[in-house]
Amino acid sequence: MAAVSATLSRRDALRTMAAAAAAAAGLMVNGASTAAQSAEPSAPQRIISLVPATTEMLFAMGAGNRVVGVGNFDKFPPAVARLPKVGGLLDPDVERVLSLKPDLVIVYDTQEDLKRQLERARVPIYRYAHRDLADIMATMRSLGERVGAKTAGDAAAARIEQQLDATRRRVAGLGRPKTLLVFGREPGALREINASGGYGFLHDLLELAGGSDALGDLKKQSVDLSTEMILSRAPDVIIELHSGAESLTPQKTDAERRVWNTLASVPAVKNNRVYLLAGDEFVVPGPRIGTAAERFAEVLHPR
């Protein structure tokens, strides 16, 4: 999916989450310290990241002290709150970017106009394009090499792989309930429903965590659903994602879960297996995907 932009709604942000780490020195992510690493002498020292995923990656590999600007939707780690905001996918602020005198700007590969302007200004760029789960670790390794932190980037990617492998081993040999993974719909109604198809990092995470994607035969990242299609697919489990841990209060969770009661014949509804999960780890394809996989596994295969 395309990455989150400043003008997109929560639903659209989740739909396009291909766009979708640790805080400053000393913060721990996945059990690893992110104290600032020494960079190669020729490495970029003033980095701007318009992509939340790569921002988290930079902090996870200890290069957060070299980040001088971030996108409008960057929220993690907390250290980014103090950094200048330079726009997003659809509304990059070129003047603001150039005023920060970067020696590397990380852009979405679809930002053609921004890339042309930066190239004219002779500002080096790193093009970000996200595809599937494996691409997250590949990007972290590539980015680490680009910013002169290859060893730290490789290590950060390896930590994610270890976390994912632990989840994969935990669910090995268990049943694989047919699961509908919803990441957008109209609040309070079963309209404008968007769900994960059989391609992309969310689909991969769901399958790794022991589920069988109810839309896995549709090889695309986002599928627009009708209630009739949900009835015909008859999922055993429905997982609905919400960005931001603060986005679901207990009252709102109960109210939104009851919306699904209109489809009482669906096995997931009949058996009370509709789950609402909130957290930016489901939105940003970055270092926290290991946590997202663990949370999927917990609802699919409770201990």
pLDDT at 29 over 90: no
CB atoms within 10 A of CB 253: 17
pLDDT of res. 244: 74
pLDDT digits (tens, 9 = 90+) for 260-277: 999 999 999 999 999 999
* Integer Cα distance of 282 and 16 in angstroms: 12
Q: Which domains does the chain have, with CATH numbers?
A: 10-169 (3.40.50.1980), 174-300 (3.40.50.1980)
Query: Residues 92-114: pLDDT tens digits?
Result: 999 999 999 999 999 999 999 99
Q: Judge whether residue 63 has pLDDT over 90.
A: yes
Instruction: Round to whole Å and give the CA distance between 3 and 51.
Output: 7
Rounded to an integer, the average pLDDT of 230-238 is 98
Peptide bond preceding 77 in cis form (omega within 30 of 0):
yes
Tens of pLDDT, residue by residue over 121-162, are 999 999 998 889 999 999 999 999 999 999 999 999 999 999
Residue 39: the pLDDT is 56
pTM of the model: 0.83
Contact 289, 205 (CB under 8 A): yes
